């Protein structure tokens, strides 16, 4: 009988690979913390299935390399919305 934690690690890795989602999105989907997802994929999975680990790690590293861009875009949208919602727009 397989360990439920090992099964969860495999399920999370497959989900990340199939969807290309972030650790945060995977955590939300499975109802666990980001720390749990990260530990499952980077530690447990490496011991269980090296090939699956390598594929999931590629997606995680890609998302990690893009997070500063996504963060900057989110900030830009936030302030653009704030600017458009200003009651004194055009009178400043």
| Domain residue ranges in the chain | 4-84
Torsion of CA 62, 67, 68, 71, to 10 degrees: 160
Helix 23-30 to helix 4-19 angle (10° resolution) is 130
pLDDT in tens, 36-61: 999 999 999 999 999 999 999 999 99
Give the residue ranges of the chain where pLDDT is below 50. 1, 91-92
Q: What is the pTM of this model?
A: 0.74
């Amino acid at each position: 009988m397989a360990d439920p934690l090992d099964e969860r690690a495999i399920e999370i890795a497959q989900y990340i690979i199939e969807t290309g989602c972030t650790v945060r999105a995977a955590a939300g989907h499975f109802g666990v913390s980001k720390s749990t997802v990260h530990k499952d994929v980077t530690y447990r999975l490496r011991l269980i299935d090296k090939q699956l680990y390598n594929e999931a790690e590629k997606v995680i590293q890609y998302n990690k390399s893009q997070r500063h861009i996504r963060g900057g875009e989110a900030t830009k949208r936030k302030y653009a919305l704030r600017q458009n919602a200003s009651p004194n727009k055009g009178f400043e």
